Amino acid sequence: MPETTTGALIYQILELLPFLKELPEFLHIPMLMFVTGLIPVTVISLVGLVGVYMERKVSAFMQIRLGPMEYGPWGTLQTLADGIKLMGKEDIIPREADKPLFILAPIAAFVGVFLLFIAIPFDRDIIVVDLNVGIFYLAAVASIEVVGIIMAGWASNNKWSLLGAMREAAQVVAYEIPVGICLVTVVIVSGSFSMVDIVEEQKGLFLNWFIFRNPVMWVVFIAFIIASLAELKRAPFDLPEAESELVSGFHTEYSGMRFSIFFIAEYGAMFVASALIAILFLGGYYTGIPFLDNIDGILGILIRVGALFGKAFAFLFLQMWIRWTLPRIRLDQMFYLCYKVLVPFGFVAMIITAFWQMVLPGDGFMSLGWAPGLGK
């Protein structure tokens, strides 16, 4: 496995960007931070743009509408136009709000999402840092966004915002348990916390994907999708921003650019969750067809990155599909689903997986006997 440490990464980038070497030495690290930071920011923004457009179109088609049609062909530039409009809006801070927190909250939420991108492998080498505790890192950093949201709810000095933020806190804390169980199950199968290792384990035919590893993996897969929906506060778990009850939850008082930062962060987090589902269960950046995965050079990189993005957007679509199908569930139903359904199911699946790994370590159960390690 490639040993990518922070130091090694710095040297790699230094080689990629020779003009950095000409700068004085004390500027190397800040410049590197800037350059490397720019990539996730760009990706998040682009994903936000595409995601919002997709959401609008998907919702429109499911409701026999057309959706945005005015700007660009089929309204493709609508999101961009909205972004420009939001930037031009007045910056409103409520008089009774806690100003520093109010300003900091969207940044904190965005930083949470931004940090998630660090551990997402888009290809074997296209990853900011391949941490040897990648999954742990993701599980930990995913909660930072919640901190931002609770800050927003508290700082707004608005009961709707505060209620939304409290619900968010309760929901995320509750759903971290099933998410953790799912992650642990994946770790049991892969034998590593590193994201790249997890994907590399699934190399080869698509039957090597973790979802096919043992007969209960699909339960974990579905549990993870549901739990990630709840973590993302997407419908049907959008209690924190329940429009019919809480106006719009924690971002009731936010407008203009601050609001759009929350929005972009939400879509960034959606993308990360979708990418995580792909990485943990569906072979990550591998297409599942061995000869496509073994292509070298820039074409291979494009195929692999494309595969990850394709899978991620498929799950993004699934999230939207669910959102425009299911009504919002009640608070008690939400907790029932978490503590009484997902947690026990996850536990049982985890224990079965552990035993399965003990008895039948190796490749997918479906390829058992006839295609072990095919294409590796």
SS3 56: helix
CA–CA distances in Å: residue 218 to residues 59, 151, 211, 231, 304:
27, 36, 6, 19, 24
**For other proteins, the closer CB: 164 or 178:** 178
Among 52, 54, 58, 308, binds other proteins (CB under 8 A): 58
**For other proteins, the closer CB: 258 or 328:** 328
What x/- string results for residues 66 through 95 when contact with other proteins is judged by CB under 8 A?
x--x--------------------------
Q: What is the smallest separation between the CB atom of 64 and other proteins, expressed in angstroms? A: 5
Q: What is the smallest separation between the CB atom of 325 and other proteins, expressed in angstroms? A: 4
Helix or strand (DSSP H, E) at 103: helix 99-118
**For other proteins, the closer CB: 162 or 216:** 216
Q: What is the smallest separation between the CB atom of 58 and other proteins, expressed in angstroms? A: 7
Q: What is the smallest separation between the CB atom of 65 and other proteins, expressed in angstroms? A: 5
Among 34, 61, 310, 351, binds other proteins (CB under 8 A): 61
**Options 58-66, 115-123, 183-191, 238-246: segment touching other proteins (CB under 8 A):** 58-66
Q: What is the smallest separation between the CB atom of 347 and other proteins, expressed in angstroms? A: 15
| Gap between the Cα atoms of 200 and 197, Å rounded | 5
Q: What is the smallest separation between the CB atom of 227 and other proteins, expressed in angstroms? A: 15
DSSP 212-270: GTSTTHHHHHHHHHHHHHHHTT-TTS-GGG-HHHHTTGGGTT--HHHHHHHHHHHHHHH
Q: What is the smallest separation between the CB atom of 344 and other proteins, expressed in angstroms? A: 10
| Gap between the Cα atoms of 267 and 45, Å rounded | 9
By CB under 8 A, the residues from 27 to 46 that bind other proteins are none
Among 16, 19, 63, 91, binds other proteins (CB under 8 A): 63
Which residue, among 81, 26, 75, 73, has the nearest Cα to 55 in the 3D structure? 75
Tokens 């590593």 found at: 192
What x/- string results for residues 304 through 343 when contact with other proteins is judged by CB under 8 A?
-----------------xx-xxx-------------xx--
Q: What b/e sequence results for 317-330 when a residue is b if at least 16 CB atoms lie within 10 Å of its CB, and e otherwise? A: eebbebbeeeebbe
| Gap between the Cα atoms of 214 and 210, Å rounded | 8
**For other proteins, the closer CB: 321 or 365:** 321
**For other proteins, the closer CB: 32 or 322:** 322
**For other proteins, the closer CB: 39 or 326:** 326
| Cis amide bond preceding 30, omega within 30 | no
Query: 212, 364 in Cβ contact below 8 A?
Result: yes
**For other proteins, the closer CB: 92 or 341:** 341
Q: Is 67 buried (19+), middle (13-18) or exposed (0-12) by CB count in 10 A?
A: middle
Q: What is the smallest separation between the CB atom of 211 and other proteins, expressed in angstroms? A: 18
Which residue, among 255, 123, 115, 143, has the nearest Cα to 196 in the 3D structure? 123
Query: 160, 247 in Cβ contact below 8 A?
Result: yes
Q: What is the smallest separation between the CB atom of 79 and other proteins, expressed in angstroms? A: 19
**For other proteins, the closer CB: 13 or 322:** 322
Among 1, 8, 62, 87, binds other proteins (CB under 8 A): 62
Which residue, among 306, 274, 292, 279, has the nearest Cα to 199 in the 3D structure? 279
**For other proteins, the closer CB: 187 or 229:** 229
Q: Is 244 in the site for other proteins (CB under 8 A)?
A: no
Q: What is the smallest separation between the CB atom of 234 and other proteins, expressed in angstroms? A: 14
| Gap between the Cα atoms of 375 and 355, Å rounded | 26
Helix or strand (DSSP H, E) at 20: helix 19-22
**Options 34-42, 54-62, 130-138, 270-278: segment touching other proteins (CB under 8 A):** 54-62
Q: Which chain residues interact with other proteins by CB under 8 A? A: 58, 60-66, 69, 321-322, 324-326, 340-341
